Amino acid sequence: MDEELKKFAAAIRDGVGAITGPSPDSITSNYLTSSARKGLSESSVGGLGQIAGTQADIIAKQEEQARQAKIDSLKDQLDPSKYQKVRKADGGFDFLDPSGQKIDINTYAQRTGERRADILKDSENPIDQQYVNDFVNANDLMQAVYNGDKQTVSDIVAQNPDLKDKKPEDYLKELILKYPHLYGRGNYADTQKNFLHPAFKSDPNFLGSGGGGFQL
């Protein structure tokens, strides 16, 4: 009997499909009745189906985890509190997104909703300081225009002839031209070229009696 079982086992190892034809000998034929072959085939198919089902479950779980991770990442991207401002050796700042990747200040400003001047107000980088000063001056100039403070506007334009006949919205354009990297219009090297060449010149002693807050 042991020898017969060994031969039967060898026949099974050759595959269910191979043994569904004529039996290799009378010994296996005795074992492989139609009902036995049917049971063996169903068992094999069931086993493969179980494996396939397990693999499908694993893939489905992996896809769900990836989908959830994507959703969590998008939620983080929309959360201003997840962004970081880290001081650099030059006194300025690096900006990081929620995943810790570096981003530019323009992206940081857009994602957090902060004004660039507020972001850089405590920067020790001289270019950042020049920008903040220019922003304050531009804002003061716009306020003078809106308030009808003609004397202040006249004094400032006298110091900045390029501003003559320009509208308040043009003052922002001046900032973009001088500091393109802050507005996503260029890189830091482009801005560096304008260091010591501010967008708005101002001598507080030059202002007339109507002078407002447009001062360095």
For residue 207, what pLDDT is reported? Answer: 47
Read off the pTM: 0.66
- Each residue's pLDDT tens digit, 149-185: 998 888 888 888 888 888 888 998 999 999 999 999 9
Q: Which residue has the higher pLDDT, 59 or 107?
A: 107
Q: Which residue has the higher pLDDT, 112 or 18?
A: 112
As a whole number, mean pLDDT of residues 203-210 equals 49
Give the residue ranges of DSSP H helices in the chain: 2-13, 16-19, 26-31, 34-77, 105-112, 116-120, 126-146, 150-159, 168-178, 188-192
- Each residue's pLDDT tens digit, 1-60: 556 555 655 655 565 444 445 555 555 555 555 555 555 555 655 666 677 778 888 888
Q: Are 35 and 15 in contact (CB under 8 A)?
A: no
For residue 104, what pLDDT is reported? Answer: 97
For residue 213, what pLDDT is reported? Answer: 38
- Each residue's pLDDT tens digit, 62-93: 888 898 888 888 888 889 999 999 999 989 99
Integer CA distances (angstroms), 94 to 55, 126, 128, 132, in order: 45, 15, 13, 17
